[in-house]
Structure 1
Amino acid sequence: MATPTNTQFAVAVHVLTYLADADVPGPVSSDELAASVNASPVYVRRVLTPLRRSGIVTSTPGAHGGWVLTRPAETITLAEIWRLVQGDDPVLGLHGPNPRCPTGVGVNRALAALDRELADAVEARLGEVTVADVVRDASTVGKTGRRPR
């Protein structure tokens, strides 16, 4: 199976789940989030930027600063996160065929229509799941109670 190249959605869900977890008191630094996600703090901040603009999270600079949720996890759907980080990017890996090739143009048009259907289906299903649901599901997977530092 192909490996996805855009991991922003998964990272955003991971970070929001981490922030929503009752075991995490107060603001959480980008460094701590990056350790949990296994990515750089710069990447974590880039993923969180559209979430901050939308008001889902806020950040405070400084030694005791960090990231916090601004809304209850029960009110944040995965569809909302998907729209913020995925935008209008295609779900399928569409390519730009030679515009003079009738086969390529036809295939691209067919796949673009299918891509829209898939995107609508993905968003509909993600609308049924909240960050609180992910927190609950993640806690049943064998939580150790220890956070990476």
Structure 2
Amino acid sequence: MKISTRGRYGLTVVVELGRHYGKGPIPLRQIAATYDLSEAYLEQLVPPLRNSGLVKSVRGAYGGYKLARDPETITAGDVIRLLEGPIQVVEGIEDGKVEQKKLWHEMSEAIRRVLDTTTIADLLLEEEPQVDEGYMFYI
């Protein structure tokens, strides 16, 4: 299974909206500029996010997009599954007799488990810079 730019950029949009959660909407052009992405491509990713209830749009001069729910309640799996479809390492393992069926199934389950237990809030915590206390010298 390979996650396409659709899934990666969609997750980037949701994480960025999570960073601004509770602070009002942000325009897609701001996200596109921050990550050097195509605004037109991001505009194609937002409708499924909005239709699923993960993202809300706000019209007007100070409009843009914002998360519809708390970042702690949205998982990476919610976003990837929405934009990429079912999460499977190998397609068709349920059909007929497939060698290594158990291996492929366990790999798919492991990927699902990671995506479904990693929230947007978790991803935001990973990005926070670690404060290095450094050494304290006394004279």
Same fold (TM over 0.5): yes
Question: In the alignment, which residue of structure 1 is the partner of 2:126?
Answer: 137
Residues 55-110 of structure 1, C-alpha deviations (whole Å, 9 max, x = no match): 01011233221000010000001111121011037546x8xxxxxxxxxxxxxx65
Partner amino acid, structure 1, of 2:117: E
Question: In the alignment, which residue of structure 2 is the partner of 1:67?
Answer: 65
Partner amino acid, structure 2, of 1:31: R
Q: Report the 3-state secondary structure (helix = DSSP H, G, I; strand = E; otherwise coil) of the residue aligned with 1:71.
A: coil
Question: In the alignment, which residue of structure 2 is the partner of 1:127?
Answer: 116
Pairs within 5 Å for 1:1-149: 6-22=4-20, 25-88=23-86, 91=89, 117-140=106-129
Report the RMSD for the aligned CA atoms in angstroms: 3.0
TM-score (normalizing by structure 2): 0.73
Of residues 83-92 and 72-81 in structure 1, the stretch that sits farther from structure 2 once superposed is: 83-92
Q: Report the 3-state secondary structure (helix = DSSP H, G, I; strand = E; otherwise coil) of the residue aligned with 1:127.
A: helix
| Unmatched segments (≥5 aa) in structure 1 | 95-108, 143-149
Q: Report the 3-state secondary structure (helix = DSSP H, G, I; strand = E; otherwise coil) of the residue aligned with 2:107.
A: helix
Aligned residues: 126
Partner amino acid, structure 2, of 1:41: E
Q: Identity over aligned residues, as a percent?
A: 30
